[in-house]
Amino acid sequence: MSTNFPEIQGGGSLILAWQIKGKEVLVVGGGEVAAGRIVNLLNADAKVTVVCPRDGLNEEVAYRVDQGQVKHVDRMFLPLDLEPEKNVAMILTAIDDPDASTRIWKYCKRLKVPANIADVPSECDFYFGSVHRDGPLQIMVSTNGNGPRMAAAIRRQIGEMLPKGTGDSIQKVGQLRRKLRKIAPGKSTRDISKRMGWMSEVCDKWSTEEFNNIDDADMEDLVQYYESGIVPSFEEIRLGQRGDVVWEFDGSFGWM
């Protein structure tokens, strides 16, 4: 029997992309930590409610309240904030009161509401990592609570290593996938596998810069190759399929 399988490394977290769009999220507290959490949540299109006395809001959180970006409950947290009819999907606490935070965490456990208690890993159902963001691209670095500052440094290093325009190229890949699904809408396992395989070959063959340079006409030309299973190069699409291209020869080779 083969034993060539991945080695198990315990002690990690299951890193997921949590789809929180349109869901209710409660943030308890209004200081600097809460402000950072709110940015992450709004970037994920969550519906955010901040529970904190008005005089406890820092400048950034107060701005988001005043701009209507988040709802505001002007008082301390109460159990009624997690009543079932409010459909709270998760709660984040960022307050300077460990006892109150623990009480909120225990209440969340009884109600089975996922919670993140700032700076108390043992009372967190999930963690926030250091995230590099470039359009649709998100890369999270997590140290599982051991070294947040190091996570931030590593995240910056990763961001600097990525080719310029990576986010834009990923955006183009998404557009290409949608065009492909229009001409090949099959939903069987075989259809899905074929689409994924062809797209994988395109992504392996084309560079970030080439994806950045393609337009809608290029994409339309490219997806026409799908049924044949062929993956043309960028040059074949841009030059070989355009009737408006003027070919110039420098005399370095002759006609056979």
74 is catalytic: no
- Residue 90: closest CA among 111, 71, 76, 75: 111
Of residues 97, 119, 134, 221, which has the active-site annotation?
119
Transcribe 137-168 into DSSP letters.
EEEEE--TTS-HHHHHHHHHHHHHHSPTTHHH
* Residue 26 contacts residue 87 (beta carbons within 8 Å): no
Cα–Cα dist 256/178, whole Å = 43
- Residue 120: closest CA among 155, 139, 138, 95: 95
For the chain, how many helices (H) and strands (E)? 9, 7
The two three-digit tokens of residue 7, written as one number: 């080695």
- Residue 84: closest CA among 111, 121, 120: 111
Terminal Cα distance for the chain, rounded: 58
Residues acting as catalytic residues: 119
